Amino acid sequence: MPSLDGHSEDAELQDRLDMLQKVHQGTLRALDSILLEKKELLQVNTATLNLLEDLELERSRSLDTQRALLNMLEDIEAERAKVEETRAVLEAVNAELEAFSYSVSHDLRAPLRAIGGFSRAISEDCCSALDGEGRRYLTLIQDNVRRMGDLIDGLLAFSRLGRQKIRASEIDLCVMSREVFDEIASQEPERDISYVCNPSPLLYGDAIMFRQVIVNLISNAIKFTRGRERALIEAGYAADVEGGAYYLRDNGVGFDVKYADKLFGVFERLHPMGEFEGTGVGLALVERVITRHGGRVWATSAPGEGATFFFTTSGVR
């Protein structure tokens, strides 16, 4: 019969074996966790290395971009210096041209007055000694003296405009254009001319300069509608054109748009002098005023279908 002590030793041994097995299993689980953490650490390390490589690549690209920007800034600075130099030269040339135009215009007046005065003296004192052809020649001389005077006035106004300081104020173009229209239309009371100005926003600019713009645009509209039984002239503001543009439209003879680039040149004309009078300075003056107010002016038309002149300005409030 086995002894109680032997049974006890077996049970104790079994307990130790069970404990060792549990410790072994725990150790294996710990090793599995360590291996898993090692794998995760390796993945994190790989991702970190990739991130560092990406950062280095971005740093390299950033340095390249900075160098490119520095080169670009150097080029811009060089171009700006060239532009400033060119602008200074252009300003000097413009000043010389304006002074030249002003001087020439004044110098032309003396001989022009002499021609006009002598032609009038001949017409008054020697008219009976002239035949019909001679009197016609005198009339042509006097007409051309007047035209030359108008050209000089236009040239003086054009040259003076470059030196004139802008004195800005709020302008109601409908009020101004109505006054101008009434003044010009009164010179041709026999004509049927309809004029309407649609509501327009106030304009901020030099009132004297803009009156010159309105005078020239309305004068042209009245002149080029002369062949119409009823002349129609309309002014207003088109919010959907160029972000907002003032306009003046007529139902006159119009013009071919392929010649539109000549409209605003000094002494440029799209119609023969014998058909419509004019100096060819008015629209050049219009463009100069609008340009000085930060805007632009252009026209749309077709032969026989009237014309519409648009202009923008940075002075709209």
pLDDT confidence band for 249 (50 / 70 / 90): very high
Q: How many angstroms separate the CA atoms of 297 and 252, rounded? A: 19
In this model, does residue 184 exceed pLDDT 80? yes
Examine the domain organization and report whether 189 and 237 are in the same domain: yes
Nearest to 156 by CA among 14, 301, 266, 46: 266
**Widest Cα–Cα separation across the chain:** 181
Task: Please report which confidence band the pLDDT of residue 316 belongs to, taking 50, 70 and 90 as the band edges.
Answer: very low
In angstroms, how far is CA 208 from the centroid of its own chain? 22
Tens-place pLDDT, residues 40-59? 888 888 888 888 888 888 88
User: 160 pLDDT exceeds 80?
Assistant: no
- Those residues whose C-beta lies under 8 Å from the C-beta of residue 284, and which sit 6 or more positions away, are 158, 264, 265, 266, 267, 268
Is-contact 111 172, C-beta < 8 A? Answer: no
Do both 109 and 202 map to the same domain? no
Helix residue spans in the chain (DSSP H): 4-125, 132-163, 173-185, 207-224, 282-292
Q: What whole-number distance in Å separates Cα of residue 272 and Cα of residue 116? A: 24
Identify the domain boundary among 161, 196, 212.
Answer: 161
Alpha carbon 24 to its chain centroid, in Å, reads 87
Partners of 194 in beta bridges: 232
Q: Are residues 136 and 186 in the same domain?
A: no
> Among residues 106, 138, 161, which one ends one of the domains?
161
Please give the residue that has the higher pLDDT: either 307 or 147.
307
Same domain, 176 and 307: yes
Could you tell me if residue 268 is inside a domain?
A: yes
Last residue of a domain, one of 113, 136, 161: 161
Q: Tell me if residue 167 falls in helix, strand or coil.
A: coil
Distance of alpha carbon 89 from alpha carbon 208, whole angstroms: 29
Residue 45 counted as domain residue: no
Neighbour-count burial of 187, counting CB atoms closer than 10 A to its CB (0-12 exposed, 13-18 middle, 19+ buried): exposed
Average pLDDT over residues 24-40: 82
Q: Is the pLDDT of residue 84 over 60?
A: yes
Does residue 220 belong to any structural domain of this protein? yes
The domain tally of the chain equals 2
The pLDDT mean for the chain works out to 80
First-to-last C-alpha distance (Å) of the chain: 121
pLDDT tier for residue 174 given thresholds of 50, 70 and 90: very high
Q: Which residue has the higher pLDDT, 196 or 121?
A: 196
Q: Look at residue 244 and give its three-state secondary structure.
A: coil
213 in a structural domain: yes
Query: Same structural domain for residues 184 and 290?
Result: yes
- Highest mean pLDDT pick, 136-145, 194-203, 300-309: 194-203
Cα separation values, 245 from 81, 290, 301, 307, 311, Å:
34, 12, 16, 15, 6
pLDDT the model gives residue 151: 67
Is the CB of residue 286 less than 8 Å from the CB of residue 297? yes
Could you give the angle at which helices 282-292 and 207-224 cross, rounded to 10 degrees?
140
Calculate helix-pair angle for 207-224, 132-163, nearest 10 degrees: 150
Q: In sequence order, what DSSP letters do the residues of 9-34 get, joined into one string?
A: HHHHHHHHHHHHHHHHHHHHHHHHHH
Whether residue 301 is found in the same domain as residue 173: yes
Can you tell me the distance from the alpha carbon of 108 to that of 110, in angstroms, rounded to the nearest whole number? 6
Q: Residue 254 belongs to what domain range?
A: 169-311
Residue 270 resides in a domain: yes
**CATH number of the CATH domain containing 247:** 3.30.565.10
Q: Is residue 84 part of a domain?
A: no
Helix/strand/coil for 198: coil
Same-domain status, 123 and 195: no
Q: Are residues 117 and 233 in the same domain?
A: no
pLDDT 10s digits, 253-304:
887 777 667 777 654 555 444 444 545 677 888 888 888 888 988 888 877 7
- 6 versus 61: the higher-pLDDT residue is 61
